[in-house]
Each structure stands twice: as structure tokens, then as C-alpha cells.
Structure 1
Amino acid sequence: MAGRRRGWGAWRVRVVVLWLLVGSLGSLVACGGRSGTDTASADVRRLLDRRAAAVLDGDAPAYARTGAPAEFSRLRALPLAAWSYRLTALHRTEGGEATADVELSYRVEGIDRAPVKVGRTLSLTERGDGQWYVDADRPARKTGQQLWDQGTVEAVRGTHSLVLGVGQSPETLRRYAGLADRAVPAVTEAWGGAWTRRVVVLIPKSLEGMAGLLGSPASSYRGIAAVTTGETGGSVKAPADRIIVNPDAYGVLGDFGKQVVLTHETTHVATRTATTAATPLWLSEGYADWVGYRSTGRTAVQAAPELARVVASGETPDALPRDADFGFGGDGAKLAQAYEGGWLACRMIADRWGEVRLGEFYRAAGAHGKRAGAVEGAMEQVLGTTPAEFTALWREYLRDQLG
């Protein structure tokens, strides 16, 4: 075996030498030059490096020398620890123009544990001085916008939060920070565990702005006050989640409703690493609502009016809500019933088995890794029951609490 290794090594060296000779010959034939595309790619990479350095240095004139200067002012309030570009493809056209496919990598200072990476498409022009300039910088195809794509970003730091908004007054952003700062300790008290205990809240101008950040039609989120984006089951090295608010729907809520919604979304941030494909939505959404309502003193009828109406009519649901019942684009009443049903299932666990067991059940379900058998295993392991027995208890609990 040793002899074979020596033979392979010698053969590999000969291949390398041959490659070097061929490469040298090629260089001589090409008179030492590189292809135009290679040269342009190198020049564009240098352009992107200068542009990234200008962002991090807060150097507006240096940024302007790379092109598209108006974008710089939109970014100035964003507290950045890192910002870089990686050129993935360059498409040249006639007339000294090109389109660059770029991966933008950035990290918000004190928030992101790992870089956020997003695709961008840059329109470029090679001008008379032989330098490339950025004419436009936009999200890549089928990629959501970043907040600065929608206007100048304003930032407010809270004790446990960073609120970033476009088209919002500083007073409005400070109110959001106050809500977030109350939500974080409430979630920590209920969930405990190792989580960042900080949240990032994005406030676009409107529902359309929210949809733009999510890369989806506005109709998908009409009436939805807020959502949380993040990597389900993400490691502790994943970028921080973002809570994205729909100011149209959130704005019509009273102070109580606004706090419950933001506490609900903050719960998703805290539980993200324990939430996997094995976690049913009735549990993840129900648990977030349970934390949101936990210390409010609201009765079941007050917090679950749609389900109370159904139960009062004698039509108690036969089964726990399915994942499909949580779709944003369907019947609003049925969506409310799904959330309320999940909340009451978690509330029942806390009442019957205790709050600690509820958290253990959540973690056990997510730790299963795949959906099949996850709930069954967690119920047996943590609650000492079966899905059939649990469903019967839940239906009885609905009638008792809502009847």
C-alpha cells in the first residue's frame, strides 16, 4: 500500500508540472493578458470591496465614487458590525454595461451572531476612465427586499431591542421599543433557556412594505399584525430573527393587543432553536399565544371569542388544529379558531401538568427531528398520555372553559 501511495504522489506531481507548462504556454500565446471577462470580474470585485469599506467607514464621498450614492443615506442609521459583497456572476452586454449577481453579507452590531446573507443584483457601467460604477442595487429575483430598499432607515435602541423603521416617527419607534422591552423579560420568565434575549423589530411604511420584505403578495398578510422570520431549528450561530410588523393591522390594535402580539412574536424568537419540522403549528403558535396571554388575566372566553362561539353552538372541534388551518390566505374566523385552539391546548397543559412540563413538552416534540411520532413520543415521555386521550381532555377543556 505504501508503494502505491508513492506512485500516486509522483503521478500527481507530473500532472501539476504538465499543467504549469501548458499554462505558461497559454500565457505566452495570450501575450501575458487575461480575458476581458476575467479582467472585468476582478475590477468589479475591487469596486465592491471599496463600496463595502465605505459603508463600514461611514464614508459618504468614498461610497459616491462607487456609484448610486443615494443609497448610502438610507443605510447610515443601521448599526453594522460587518458588510461585504461576493461576486457570483457577471453578465456583460454591449456598450460597457453589465449586470452583477452578488451575495451581500452583513451583520448588525450587538444583534446578529452570524452574517445575514441575501442575493442582490447590481447594474453596472464602465465609464470613460476605465472604472466600473454601480447604477442600481436591487434585490435578486425571487428575493425579498431589505428595509433600506424602501427608504431611509431610522433606528431606536431599547434595553432589549433594536427597532428599525422606514417612514415612521422617532416617537413611534420608541413606543415599539418599549413594547419589545417588556416582551423580552416576559418571554424569558416563561421559557427560560439560552436565547439572545434581544429582538430586532422592523417597521415598514405599510402592508405593502411588509410584503416586500417577505417577498410575498400583500394579500397573504392582510389582517396579520406581525410575523417572525428566521431559521427553524437554527443553531445558536444562525443570524438573529426579525419581527416584521404590518403597521396597517398593528396600528388598529389597542395597547393590550399590541403587547400580546409583540410578546407572541418574541416567543418565536426565543423558541426558534427548539422549533423544528417536527413541531406542529398548534404547539408553536399555541405556545406563543400562551406566553402572550400568560400574565394578562384574560379569561378563555375573552381571549378565544371565535372558538367560544363555535363551542357555544354545540360544535366543539373533533381534533386539534392542523397545520393547514394556520394559512394566512383563508377564512379569517377559521384562522382565529386555529390559533385559539392551539392556545387552549397549551393552556390546558400548563393547568393540568404545570408550566415546566409545558416547556419540556415543547422541547421534546421539536427534538424528535421529524413530524411522524414527534407529538406521540413527547406526550408519552413528558405528559404520560396518548394523542387520543389528550384530544378528549382538550375537547372537555374547551367545553368547560368556553361553554
Structure 2
Amino acid sequence: MLTPAAVPDLALSVDDAARVLTPEGERIPDPTLDPWLGSLDPGLLRALYRDMVLTRRVDAEGFALQRQGQLGLWPPCRGQEAVQIGTTHALAAADMIFPSYRETGVVLARGARPDEFVMAWRGEAHTAYDIQRLRMAPMQVIIGAHALHATGYAMGIQRDGADEIAVAYFGDGATSQGDVSEALVFSASYQAPVVFVCSNNQWAISEPVDVQSRVPLAARAPGFGIPSMRVDGNDVLACYAAMRWARERARRGEGPTFLEAVTYRMGPHTTADDPTRYRDAAEVERWQRRDPITRFETYLRAQGLLDDDAVAEVAAAADTLAAAVRAACVGAQTRPGVEVLDDVYAEPHTGLAEERREYAEYLAGFAETEERA
């Protein structure tokens, strides 16, 4: 007679996640992650630090621009820089990324121009950046939908025999969506070369993760037949190593991997949210002590790879980038409304031409009304 299995007694805290840097910035051994770190190039280490700092500064600028009425919305990523920068730096340039709406650091690490951070949030473009140049699909606002897009793309990679992988980034809240479960089913069934990166920032808007799941989110993936790893999402080296492991599995034809990066959203869910209504200040303060940038800076200073001058230089570069983002946003010229149809199809056709003519007449009606007024 079969007896029901008990719910695993697995802690939901970050303390059981794999890491190589303590919150105090001390290097510690980890048998799972260490083989994927090896002897890291000092240039890479400095680049990881620089990109985290730049991400935080762009994020702060985006928040301010929304508050000043220049953007319609902004989803802050403060506190999640390590998982975004660490995992992206472990990818190859050809790998295709499917981001959610909060992956500002991923956009930065892929080489976005200043205007490409804000034009979509300003409502000036469907997708703010060049998809092929950055190798990134449009930021997805529909929660979890892009996990299926990444899986389908990865199945195409298999059939094309291409040397690349697909990566889907989403938050803990997305794991409660059916699309993510379907993506896990398909990717496991076809052994698709895709990596799922779940940034567990503890809150799906106002819903805490321990209400969403009785076990760590990484514990769910093996039920679909997918290997997983739970890493400290505030440890940029751990995130880098975990992605290197997952990427090589995919390239060897060993199928999908699920990474749960345990981190924290220090700000609101979006600029339309007030987190003080559902979480207490003590919790925020605890996670502030785990700040990913402070942790990595402490480590680099101890290694002699960073000093006050270098920190000041990075801060100045961050301010310069933020100023360029602001200038691009404030100086943006709104395109004629009819151009909303320009990029619907790769090739024009008669049906689209008719729609364009009808829409142009519709818009012209507003201009006539204004003239009469």
C-alpha cells in the first residue's frame, strides 16, 4: 500500500543556497561552484563590479524619470544586480535571452545604448532595443509567457544544430503560472537547450514566496525531470558559476536546467506599488546587509583589484551613463501614430496598407477637431 509522501522540510531562507562569497565578502569553498570559477581573469571581476554599479545607477535614474512624469512605469531591480550581471556574463554572445520586465542589468550587460533602457517604458517603441544586436527578445510583461517562447526557440536550436542556447529570466511569482509549468514539461520532454533563471526576490507583488511554494522553488524542477541548483542570488560569483554549469549542460545536449537565485527586491514591485503596505522595515534591513555590490566590492578590495580611485572612476561612469539615459528620455521625439504599424510584418502587404490608410484617416480626424476648437 502506498503512503502519501510528506512535504519536504526544506528551509526557504537564503542560508542553504550555494555561494562562494559570504555576505561579508569573504571567499569560501563550494565543491559545486568552484570548478566553474577556476582562476578568474581580473578584468572579468572588475567588469562584473562595474556592470552591477552601472545597473543600479540606471535603475535609480529610471525610477526618478517615472516619478517626474517622463516614463509611464518603471520596474526597479535594486538588490538583484548580482544574478542579472553574473549570469549574463557567463553566456556567449550568440545565446538568445528571453527576459521579463525587470532585467535592466541583463539589458546593460548585453551592450544597450542609453535610449534602449527607456523608450519602451516611455511608450515610444514596442521594444526599446535592437533584438538581434543584443540577442534578446522583447521584455515580457505577461507573467511567465516567455518561458514558453524560450523553450520553443531552444527546440528550434536543436533542429538547426546551432551552437547556442536559450535563457528565460523570470521571478518567483511566475512559477505559479501555468506557462512556466508547460515550458518545464516541453523542455524536459524534448531535452531542449534552455536555462530557466528564477530570481526569487521573495515577493510576487504583495504575495510572499512561502505562500506560493511549500518548498524552495529549485525543488520543483526535478519533478519535471530537470536538474536544478539553488544559489545565493546576491553573490555574483555564485551566479556566474551556476550559469556556466547550466550552459555547458545545454551545449552538451543534456537538456534544460533550472536555477533559483535567492535574492531580494529592495524597492517596490513597480513604481505603481507601495511595499510598505505588505512588508516590514526589519526585513528590508536584513537584506540590506546582504547587498550584492557591497559584498563584491569588499572581496575585490581584499584581493587588491579595487581601490578608492577605481571605485570613484566606476561611479563617475555610472553618472555619465545615467545622464545619457536621461537626455535620451527627455529629448525623445514621439513618432507619428501611424508608424505603430511599421514593424508588424517583415514584408508589407495590401491588407496592412489598407489598415495604415484607415488609421491615418482616423488620426487626421483628431487634427481637424483641434483646428475647429
TM range (shorter): under 0.3
TM-score (structure 1 length as normaliser): 0.24
Q: TM-score, normalised by structure 2?
A: 0.25
Larger relative contact order, structure 1 or 2 (CA cutoff 8 Å, min sep 6): 2
Larger Rg: 1
Going by fraction, where is strand more abundant, 1 or 2? 1
